[in-house]
Amino acid sequence: MLEVLGDDSEANWARVLREFLPGRYGVAKGHVMDSRGTTSDQIDLLVYDAQYTPLLAQTSSGDLFVPAEAVYAVFEVKQEMNKTFMDYAGTKIASVRRLHRTSVPIAHAGGVYPPKRPIAILGGLLTTRSGWADLQGEAAVQAVLSLSGDREVNLGCALRAVSFNRPDDPDSVIEYSESDTTLLFFLFSLFTRLQGLGTVAAADIGAYMNRLDLSDAPVETDGEQPGDRADDTSA
Protein backbone atom coordinates (compact mmCIF):
# COMPACT_ATOMS: atom_id res chain seq x y z
CA MET A 1 0.00 0.00 0.00
CA LEU A 2 2.92 2.35 0.66
CA GLU A 3 3.94 2.09 -3.00
CA VAL A 4 0.64 3.71 -3.94
CA LEU A 5 1.93 6.91 -2.41
CA GLY A 6 5.33 6.77 -4.09
CA ASP A 7 6.92 9.50 -1.99
CA ASP A 8 5.88 12.05 0.58
CA SER A 9 5.38 15.04 -1.73
CA GLU A 10 2.30 17.18 -1.16
CA ALA A 11 1.03 16.27 -4.63
CA ASN A 12 1.18 12.54 -3.92
CA TRP A 13 -0.49 12.88 -0.53
CA ALA A 14 -3.19 14.98 -2.18
CA ARG A 15 -3.69 12.35 -4.89
CA VAL A 16 -4.08 9.55 -2.35
CA LEU A 17 -6.60 11.53 -0.31
CA ARG A 18 -8.61 12.47 -3.41
CA GLU A 19 -8.76 8.85 -4.52
CA PHE A 20 -9.75 7.60 -1.06
CA LEU A 21 -12.22 10.21 0.17
CA PRO A 22 -15.77 10.59 -1.23
CA GLY A 23 -16.37 13.37 -3.74
CA ARG A 24 -17.97 15.65 -1.17
CA TYR A 25 -14.45 16.34 0.16
CA GLY A 26 -12.06 18.54 -1.80
CA VAL A 27 -8.28 18.29 -1.28
CA ALA A 28 -5.85 21.06 -2.18
CA LYS A 29 -2.93 23.20 -1.09
CA GLY A 30 -3.77 26.76 -0.17
CA HIS A 31 -4.83 29.36 2.36
CA VAL A 32 -7.95 29.73 4.46
CA MET A 33 -9.69 33.10 4.73
CA ASP A 34 -12.45 34.30 7.00
CA SER A 35 -15.19 36.89 6.49
CA ARG A 36 -13.18 39.49 8.44
CA GLY A 37 -10.36 39.39 5.90
CA THR A 38 -7.90 37.37 8.03
CA THR A 39 -5.89 34.70 6.22
CA SER A 40 -4.17 31.59 7.56
CA ASP A 41 -0.63 30.47 6.90
CA GLN A 42 -0.17 28.50 3.70
CA ILE A 43 -1.41 24.96 4.33
CA ASP A 44 0.14 21.95 2.56
CA LEU A 45 -3.14 20.00 2.42
CA LEU A 46 -6.65 21.27 3.04
CA VAL A 47 -9.62 18.92 3.21
CA TYR A 48 -12.65 21.10 2.53
CA ASP A 49 -16.33 20.96 1.65
CA ALA A 50 -16.63 20.59 -2.13
CA GLN A 51 -20.40 20.23 -2.16
CA TYR A 52 -22.03 23.24 -0.53
CA THR A 53 -19.42 25.96 -0.01
CA PRO A 54 -18.15 28.16 -2.88
CA LEU A 55 -14.38 28.67 -3.10
CA LEU A 56 -13.04 32.21 -2.90
CA ALA A 57 -10.20 32.13 -5.42
CA GLN A 58 -7.45 30.09 -7.04
CA THR A 59 -3.98 31.51 -7.68
CA SER A 60 -1.85 30.98 -10.79
CA SER A 61 0.20 28.43 -8.80
CA GLY A 62 -2.90 26.35 -8.20
CA ASP A 63 -3.29 27.28 -4.52
CA LEU A 64 -6.85 27.78 -3.32
CA PHE A 65 -8.31 30.37 -0.98
CA VAL A 66 -10.96 28.48 0.95
CA PRO A 67 -13.60 30.00 3.28
CA ALA A 68 -12.92 29.12 6.90
CA GLU A 69 -16.38 27.57 7.23
CA ALA A 70 -15.57 24.98 4.54
CA VAL A 71 -12.54 23.40 6.21
CA TYR A 72 -12.70 19.88 7.62
CA ALA A 73 -9.00 19.17 8.17
CA VAL A 74 -5.52 20.63 7.60
CA PHE A 75 -2.23 18.75 7.23
CA GLU A 76 1.43 19.68 7.19
CA VAL A 77 3.67 17.51 4.97
CA LYS A 78 7.32 16.96 5.98
CA GLN A 79 10.07 14.39 5.43
CA GLU A 80 10.36 13.39 9.09
CA MET A 81 8.13 13.27 12.14
CA ASN A 82 9.93 14.86 15.09
CA LYS A 83 9.30 17.43 17.82
CA THR A 84 10.32 20.40 15.67
CA PHE A 85 7.95 19.53 12.84
CA MET A 86 5.22 18.49 15.27
CA ASP A 87 5.37 21.96 16.85
CA TYR A 88 5.49 23.56 13.40
CA ALA A 89 2.41 21.61 12.31
CA GLY A 90 0.61 22.73 15.47
CA THR A 91 1.31 26.36 14.62
CA LYS A 92 0.04 25.95 11.04
CA ILE A 93 -3.10 24.18 12.27
CA ALA A 94 -3.74 26.94 14.82
CA SER A 95 -3.59 29.60 12.08
CA VAL A 96 -6.72 27.99 10.60
CA ARG A 97 -8.57 27.16 13.80
CA ARG A 98 -8.27 30.74 15.08
CA LEU A 99 -10.09 32.19 12.09
CA HIS A 100 -13.61 33.53 12.52
CA ARG A 101 -16.35 31.25 11.19
CA THR A 102 -19.95 32.21 10.51
CA SER A 103 -23.07 30.03 10.47
CA VAL A 104 -26.50 30.81 9.04
CA PRO A 105 -29.88 29.01 9.01
CA ILE A 106 -30.57 26.55 6.19
CA ALA A 107 -33.97 26.43 4.49
CA HIS A 108 -35.45 23.01 3.74
CA ALA A 109 -38.77 21.60 2.56
CA GLY A 110 -40.20 21.48 6.08
CA GLY A 111 -38.96 24.83 7.31
CA VAL A 112 -35.55 26.11 8.43
CA TYR A 113 -32.67 24.42 10.22
CA PRO A 114 -31.10 26.72 12.86
CA PRO A 115 -27.46 27.79 12.43
CA LYS A 116 -25.10 24.89 13.07
CA ARG A 117 -22.20 25.18 15.43
CA PRO A 118 -18.92 25.15 13.41
CA ILE A 119 -17.17 21.79 13.45
CA ALA A 120 -13.91 21.04 15.28
CA ILE A 121 -11.27 21.24 12.53
CA LEU A 122 -8.90 18.26 12.41
CA GLY A 123 -5.15 18.74 12.11
CA GLY A 124 -2.26 16.42 11.35
CA LEU A 125 1.33 15.81 10.28
CA LEU A 126 2.22 13.54 7.33
CA THR A 127 5.76 12.26 6.78
CA THR A 128 7.79 9.39 5.32
CA ARG A 129 9.77 8.49 8.41
CA SER A 130 9.92 9.12 12.14
CA GLY A 131 12.82 10.86 13.86
CA TRP A 132 11.96 8.94 17.03
CA ALA A 133 13.15 5.37 17.29
CA ASP A 134 9.81 4.59 18.89
CA LEU A 135 6.83 6.80 18.06
CA GLN A 136 5.05 5.22 21.01
CA GLY A 137 7.94 6.09 23.32
CA GLU A 138 7.78 8.75 26.03
CA ALA A 139 9.47 11.54 24.06
CA ALA A 140 7.22 11.12 21.02
CA VAL A 141 4.05 10.82 23.09
CA GLN A 142 4.88 13.92 25.09
CA ALA A 143 5.56 15.87 21.87
CA VAL A 144 2.02 15.04 20.74
CA LEU A 145 0.33 15.60 24.09
CA SER A 146 2.14 18.90 24.68
CA LEU A 147 0.14 20.46 21.84
CA SER A 148 -3.31 21.43 23.01
CA GLY A 149 -6.13 23.81 22.18
CA ASP A 150 -5.79 25.38 18.73
CA ARG A 151 -2.37 23.71 18.27
CA GLU A 152 -3.53 20.16 18.93
CA VAL A 153 -2.42 17.55 16.38
CA ASN A 154 -5.12 14.88 16.03
CA LEU A 155 -3.59 12.57 13.44
CA GLY A 156 -0.15 11.63 12.21
CA CYS A 157 1.32 9.27 9.64
CA ALA A 158 5.00 8.35 9.32
CA LEU A 159 4.79 5.97 6.36
CA ARG A 160 7.87 3.90 7.14
CA ALA A 161 7.23 3.78 10.88
CA VAL A 162 3.76 4.14 12.43
CA SER A 163 0.58 6.24 12.33
CA PHE A 164 -1.33 7.61 15.30
CA ASN A 165 -4.82 8.83 16.12
CA ARG A 166 -5.25 11.02 19.19
CA PRO A 167 -8.83 10.68 20.52
CA ASP A 168 -10.76 13.78 21.54
CA ASP A 169 -11.33 12.33 25.00
CA PRO A 170 -8.35 13.53 27.10
CA ASP A 171 -8.60 10.39 29.23
CA SER A 172 -8.16 8.10 26.22
CA VAL A 173 -4.77 6.82 25.12
CA ILE A 174 -3.29 7.52 21.68
CA GLU A 175 -4.07 4.79 19.13
CA TYR A 176 -1.27 3.44 16.93
CA SER A 177 -1.05 1.41 13.73
CA GLU A 178 1.00 -1.67 13.06
CA SER A 179 4.16 -1.00 11.07
CA ASP A 180 2.72 -2.62 7.94
CA THR A 181 -0.63 -0.78 7.99
CA THR A 182 0.44 2.83 8.52
CA LEU A 183 -1.29 4.35 5.49
CA LEU A 184 -4.51 2.35 5.81
CA PHE A 185 -4.69 3.12 9.53
CA PHE A 186 -4.33 6.83 8.83
CA LEU A 187 -6.88 6.88 6.00
CA PHE A 188 -9.51 4.93 7.92
CA SER A 189 -8.91 6.98 11.08
CA LEU A 190 -9.31 10.19 9.09
CA PHE A 191 -12.48 9.02 7.38
CA THR A 192 -14.02 7.84 10.64
CA ARG A 193 -13.36 11.21 12.22
CA LEU A 194 -14.73 13.05 9.19
CA GLN A 195 -17.91 10.99 9.44
CA GLY A 196 -18.21 12.04 13.06
CA LEU A 197 -18.00 15.71 12.11
CA GLY A 198 -20.97 15.54 9.75
CA THR A 199 -21.38 18.51 7.41
CA VAL A 200 -19.74 21.90 7.84
CA ALA A 201 -21.83 24.89 8.89
CA ALA A 202 -23.39 27.01 6.14
CA ALA A 203 -21.24 30.09 5.55
CA ASP A 204 -22.73 33.58 5.69
CA ILE A 205 -21.83 34.67 2.16
CA GLY A 206 -23.21 38.13 2.90
CA ALA A 207 -20.47 38.60 5.50
CA TYR A 208 -17.86 37.90 2.83
CA MET A 209 -19.57 40.28 0.40
CA ASN A 210 -19.34 43.03 3.01
CA ARG A 211 -15.55 42.76 2.73
CA LEU A 212 -15.59 43.58 -0.97
CA ASP A 213 -14.45 46.99 -2.16
CA LEU A 214 -17.61 48.52 -3.61
CA SER A 215 -15.95 51.79 -4.69
CA ASP A 216 -15.99 50.68 -8.32
CA ALA A 217 -19.57 49.46 -8.25
CA PRO A 218 -21.85 51.05 -10.87
CA VAL A 219 -24.12 53.82 -9.61
CA GLU A 220 -27.80 52.91 -9.68
CA THR A 221 -29.69 55.27 -12.00
CA ASP A 222 -33.20 53.78 -11.96
CA GLY A 223 -32.81 52.96 -15.63
CA GLU A 224 -31.89 56.51 -16.68
CA GLN A 225 -29.05 57.04 -19.13
CA PRO A 226 -27.00 60.20 -19.71
CA GLY A 227 -29.15 62.67 -21.61
CA ASP A 228 -32.44 61.27 -20.26
CA ARG A 229 -32.97 64.07 -17.75
CA ALA A 230 -34.71 67.24 -18.87
CA ASP A 231 -31.96 69.43 -17.44
CA ASP A 232 -29.18 67.49 -19.16
CA THR A 233 -27.24 70.01 -21.28
CA SER A 234 -24.49 67.75 -22.54
CA ALA A 235 -26.01 67.60 -26.04
The pLDDT tens digits for 112-156 are: 889 999 999 999 999 999 999 898 899 999 999 999 999 999 999
DSSP states along 140-172: HHHHHHT--GGG---EEEETTS-EEE--SSTTS
Dist CA 138 CA 128 (whole Å): 21
Mean pLDDT of 6-11: 67
Mean pLDDT of 82-110: 94
pTM of the model: 0.85
CA 16 to chain centre: 16
Q: Which residues are catalytic?
A: 44, 76, 78
Specify the DSSP element, H or E, that contains 19: helix 10-20
* Per-residue model confidence as pLDDT tens digits over 189-211: 999 999 999 999 999 989 988 87
Mean pLDDT of 82-104: 97
Phi, psi of 227, deg, nearest 5: 95, -10
Nearest to 104 by CA among 137, 69, 128: 69
Specify the DSSP element, H or E, that contains 13: helix 10-20
Virtual torsion, Cα 187, 144, 94, 162, nearest 10 deg: -20
pLDDT value of residue 110: 83
- Residue 181's contacts (CB-CB under 8 Å, 6 or more residues apart) are 1
* Per-residue model confidence as pLDDT tens digits over 81-92: 999 999 999 999
Report, in angstroms and rounded to the nearest whole number, the Rg of the chain calculated over CA atoms. 22
> Would you put residue 181 in left (φ > 0), alpha (ψ -120 to 50) or beta?
alpha
Residue 53 has pLDDT above 90, yes or no: no
Dist CA 192 CA 216 (whole Å): 47
